[in-house]
Amino acid sequence: MDRETRMFAESHFRGQRGRLPSRAFSTPDHVDFIEKPDSFSYTDFFKGYLLPNVPCVFSSAFTEGWGSRRHWVTPSGKPDFDYLLQNYGDVVVPVANCGVQEYNSNPKEHMPLRDYISYWKEFIQQDYSSPRGCLYLKDWHLCRDSSAEGVFTLPVYFSSDWLNEYWDYLDVDDYRFIYMGPTGTCWSVNICGRKKWLFFPPGQEEALRDCHGGLPYDVTAPTLLDSCQHCSRPLEVTQEAGEMVFVPSGWHHQVHNLEDTISINHNWVNSCNLANMWHFLQQELRAVQQEVSEWKDTMPDWHHHCQVIMKSCSGINLKEFYHFLKVIAERRLLLLEKETGPGEGEDIEGAGLGPQQATFDIGRIAEVLASVVAHPDFQRLDTSVFSPQPKDLLQQLEEVVAATASL
């Protein structure tokens, strides 16, 4: 990131104080296709898509050097089952049954990859049907395994990836997934196969909710025809082999495999959608509190139990969110300390960041952290064991923001 881009981004968020930014950009009527890597910079992506929070599709030229595209696919463009069996056959993978719906999701089981591939081959031979239903390999954390080296190279456009930076720092987990499945199953790069995407801009999903506030399992179901008349027509994308789809925050989307498909997917958070994450966590906490509100006056430590439930349902609560902000903030502060000059670089080893990006990140963390510290439920937490104390960290970040304004 250069200084001009940073100033442009800061003006976009100015005065938001950790709230969701108003839509300063119009919602597109189509999804742009980015064709040539050599003429499309990180700044182009940041200004044109990441900051406005709109989807785009990158051509297969952006991923042509990936090991997975060379080794996982046959010359005819189909999954190379022999290679996958030889290299990963004994790995246990999570598999979802797309033919069964439980609580608006699919039940999962775990099996060796060789068993799933055996099922997949039979599914193809039986004209894409099976008494076992349509099974989809989903959320396989292959990248945690050393054997995943060379599978893909993280594109520079997605180098500011706080979720995986945080989990890599803790050495616990990651948000990098492999998906495999036959025709008819449901950020994402197609290693082989084709997918159909439907995108609803933020807010449009409200017209699709049922009487209980739930979102539909399938937005194309005939029962939703009346509901769809009250929202904008979704943006439709057909993703070909090798192409990469950027899925922006808050866009309700549905994906359908048109062919036998293998894809690599990332969930991520960074300075541009940090306020979205904070907004989501507040919504999740309110939902938990509403669900158990009848015990508020009789349950000891009711607020603490709400945090426990929130962690169980969402994978994170307010305590861990603070730790997440702290880790990223301290890494950005360390990066700035190591820089001897203003610089314009984008490629600091380990984070893919330069000083301008780090400065922008610190400013965004400071704004969101100020909102977190002021939140009544955060103030109920026992923060005596936090190091540094939230208000001390906030003060440090605000001082750095003031000191680097002219950087």
Question: Which residues in 198-221 are b (16+ Cβ under 10 Å) and which e?
Answer: bbbbbebbeebeeeeeeebeebee
Residue 219's pLDDT band (cuts 50, 70, 90): low
Same domain assignment for residues 97 and 150: yes
The runs of H, that is alpha helices, within 171-315 are 225-228, 274-291, 302-314
As for how many domains the chain has, the answer is 2
pLDDT of res. 223: 56
pLDDT of res. 350: 41
Residue 217's pLDDT band (cuts 50, 70, 90): low
Pairing label, strands 92-97, 108-112: antiparallel
Last residue of a domain, one of 214, 233, 266: 266
pLDDT of res. 351: 46
Tokens 């169980």 — which residue? Answer: 312
Same domain assignment for residues 295 and 230: no
Whether 19 maps to a domain, the answer reads no
Which position has the higher pLDDT, 319 or 17? 319
CA angle 395, 308, 271 (to 5 degrees): 40
pLDDT of res. 170: 85
pLDDT surpassing 90 at residue 135: yes
pLDDT in tens, 194-214: 999 999 988 876 666 665 566
Whether 340 maps to a domain, the answer reads yes
Which position has the higher pLDDT, 172 or 334? 334
DSSP string, 144-167: GSGGGTTS----GGG---HHHHHH
pLDDT of res. 305: 97
* C-alpha distances in Å from residue 20, one per residue of 43, 59, 129, 207, 249: 22, 31, 45, 20, 11
pLDDT of res. 267: 84
Whether omega before 388 lies within 30 degrees of 0, making that bond cis, reads yes
Lowest-pLDDT range, 10-24, 46-60, 72-86, 290-304? 10-24
Question: Which residues in 341-379 are b (16+ Cβ under 10 Å) and which e?
Answer: eeeeebebeebbbbbbbbbbbbbbbbbbbbbbbebebbe
Whether 1 maps to a domain, the answer reads no
CATH at 203: 2.60.120.650
pLDDT of res. 163: 87
Same domain assignment for residues 262 and 279: no
pLDDT in tens, 28-65: 999 999 999 999 999 999 999 999 999 999 999 999 99
Q: Taking residues 370-396, what's their average pLDDT? A: 97
Last residue of a domain, one of 246, 266, 286: 266
Residue 222's pLDDT band (cuts 50, 70, 90): low
Tokens 């933020």 — which residue? Answer: 202
Same domain assignment for residues 209 and 288: no
Give percent of the chain above pLDDT 70.
84
Question: Nearest to residue 148, comparing CAs of 178, 113, 181, 114?
Answer: 178
* C-alpha distances in Å from residue 348, one per residue of 156, 339, 352: 12, 10, 5
pTM of the model: 0.87
Question: Mean pLDDT in the chain?
Answer: 87
Neighbours of 152 (CB within 10 A): 20
In the numeric block, which tokens belong to residue 261?
């498909």
Whether 11 maps to a domain, the answer reads no
Whether 254 maps to a domain, the answer reads yes
Domain extent, residue 379, equals: 274-403
Which position has the higher pLDDT, 147 or 275? 275
pLDDT of res. 236: 96
Neighbours of 337 (CB within 10 A): 9
**What is the separation of C-alpha 240 from the centre of its chain, rounded to a whole number of angstroms?**
21
Same domain assignment for residues 196 and 324: no
Give percent of the chain above pLDDT 90.
64
pLDDT of res. 27: 85
Same domain assignment for residues 283 and 252: no
pLDDT of res. 344: 46
DSSP string, 330-353: HHHHHHHHH-SS----S-BTTTTB
Whether 249 maps to a domain, the answer reads yes
Same domain assignment for residues 40 and 78: yes
* Contact criterion met (CB below 8 Å) for 190 and 260: no
Which position has the higher pLDDT, 402 or 101? 402
Helix (H, G, I), strand (E, B) or coil at 200: strand
Which position has the higher pLDDT, 322 or 181? 322
Same domain assignment for residues 257 and 284: no
- CA distance linking residue 306 with residue 183, whole number of Å: 41
pLDDT of res. 245: 97
pLDDT surpassing 90 at residue 244: yes
According to DSSP, residue 204 is labeled G
- CA distance linking residue 12 with residue 271, whole number of Å: 12
Same domain assignment for residues 255 and 388: no
Residue 357's pLDDT band (cuts 50, 70, 90): very high
Same domain assignment for residues 139 and 177: yes
Same domain assignment for residues 315 and 252: no
Whether 377 maps to a domain, the answer reads yes
Q: Taking residues 312-335, what's their average pLDDT? A: 96
pLDDT of res. 339: 76
pLDDT in tens, 283-298: 999 999 999 999 999 9
pLDDT of res. 347: 43
Q: Taking residues 301-310, what's their average pLDDT? A: 97
At 18, which amino acid appears?
A: G
pLDDT in tens, 167-190: 888 877 676 778 887 665 545 899
pLDDT of res. 341: 53
Last residue of a domain, one of 234, 266, 298: 266
Whether 8 maps to a domain, the answer reads no
Bridge partners (DSSP) listed for residue 95: 109, 137
pLDDT of res. 103: 58
Q: Taking residues 258-284, what's their average pLDDT? A: 93
- CA distance linking residue 30 with residue 46, whole number of Å: 18
